[in-house]
């Protein structure tokens, strides 16, 4: 019984480890990223988004702008869209 429990535990751990990498969509392209809290700068890097561009997350069909100094909790399946920043003066 002890061996079965250990083998089962190792399998569960391996399953958890394989899910540490999840897929998100950045500008309609699937990208792999680590699950958990990720800085916006890392999402841009993984998504090959220029750091100067603005990144928004698609939430319930709406674009939610992200702060460059912020972070997003990644669970898998999130979608992001980038665009050049509005350069108009306020």
CATH code, 28: 3.10.20.90
Within a domain: 55: yes
Domain that holds residue 36: 20-83
Give the pLDDT score at 17: 54
Q: How many domains does the chain have?
A: 1
Residue 29's Cβ-count burial label (10 Å; 0-12, 13-18, 19+) is: exposed
Within a domain: 8: no
Within a domain: 3: no
Within a domain: 2: no
Please list the pLDDT of the chain residue by residue as tens digits (90 residues): 454 444 444 444 444 555 699 999 999 999 999 999 999 999 999 999 999 999 999 999 999 999 999 999 999 999 999 999 886 545
Are the CB atoms for 46 and 31 separated by under 8 Å?
A: yes
Give the pLDDT score at 88: 59
Give the pLDDT score at 80: 98
């Amino acid at each position: 019984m002890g061996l079965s429990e250990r083998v089962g535990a190792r399998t569960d751990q391996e399953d958890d480890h394989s899910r540490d990498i999840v897929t998100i969509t950045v500008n309609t392209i699937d990208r792999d990223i680590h699950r958990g809290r990720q800085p916006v700068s890392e999402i841009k890097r993984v998504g090959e988004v220029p750091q100067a561009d603005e990144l928004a997350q698609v939430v319930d069909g709406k674009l939610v702008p992200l702060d460059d100094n912020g972070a997003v909790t990644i669970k898998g399946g999130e979608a992001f869209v980038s665009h050049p920043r509005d350069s108009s003066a306020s």
